[in-house]
Amino acid sequence: MRDEAAFVEFAEAARGRLRRTAYLLCGDWEQASDHVQEGLIRVYVAWPRLTRAGREHGYARRAVVSAFLDHSRRRSSTEVPSEPDRNVPSGQDVAESVALRAALMSALADLPLRQRACVVLRYFDDLSVADTAAVLGCSEGTVKSQTSRALASLRSTFEGSPIGGLAIEGATPW
């Protein structure tokens, strides 16, 4: 039996975080919502066996990342980040904040898809190398090498720019 009430409760609780991950991957909030929707549909399909195994959260993240990767493979291409969100928090220098956001999203968009996914999963979702490998369906060695390359690219993008350099706390990719 498919417990839809439990699924809805889970989806309500998880959608915000999933959407943030999806946004960092694709650079567009609307597209992020599409990826979350697709990911949650996949979760719904697998729901009975996920809840038996208690794996719904991990599966949902993987489903959203897969939806993003599938979409990107199918539709091409490198997503161009949308205009940076102007709705910035108060108390900050707006121009600087917008520039930083735009710089980060642009640098992420320049990364190959899987490198981008490694960065987002490792440094936004705080997944371990092993968990990242499980989400992406690749080896831990691949995650390490992809992350390492991604961080090098990000650092070089920020290096010497007026908005400052980039530090990555605990930046060893393993």
CB of 23 within 8 A of CB of 29? yes
Helices 56-75 and 113-123 pack at an angle, to 10 degrees, of 160
152 is a site residue for another protein (CB under 8 A): no
CB of 31 within 8 A of CB of 21? no
- Out of 63, 67, 119, 135, the residue judged to bind another protein by CB under 8 A: 119
Asked, as a colleague might, if the bond just before 77 is cis with ω within 30 of 0, I would say yes
Contacts of 39 (CB under 8 A, 6+ apart): 18, 22, 60, 63, 64, 65, 66, 67
95 is a site residue for another protein (CB under 8 A): no
123 is a site residue for another protein (CB under 8 A): yes
Q: How far apart are CA 38 and CA 142, in angstroms?
A: 26
55 is a site residue for another protein (CB under 8 A): no
Instruction: Pick the piece of the chain touching another protein (CB under 8 A) from 55-63, 94-102, 127-135, 139-147.
Output: 94-102
Could you give the 3-state DSSP secondary structure of residue 29? helix
- Out of 56, 57, 64, 87, the residue judged to bind another protein by CB under 8 A: 87
- Out of 64, 104, 133, 135, the residue judged to bind another protein by CB under 8 A: 104
160 is a site residue for another protein (CB under 8 A): no
Which residues would be at the binding site for another protein (CB under 8 A)? 1-4, 7-8, 11-12, 15-16, 19-20, 23-24, 29-30, 33-34, 36-37, 40-45, 47-49, 52, 73-78, 85, 87-89, 97, 100-101, 104-105, 119-120, 123-124, 151, 154, 158, 163-169, 171
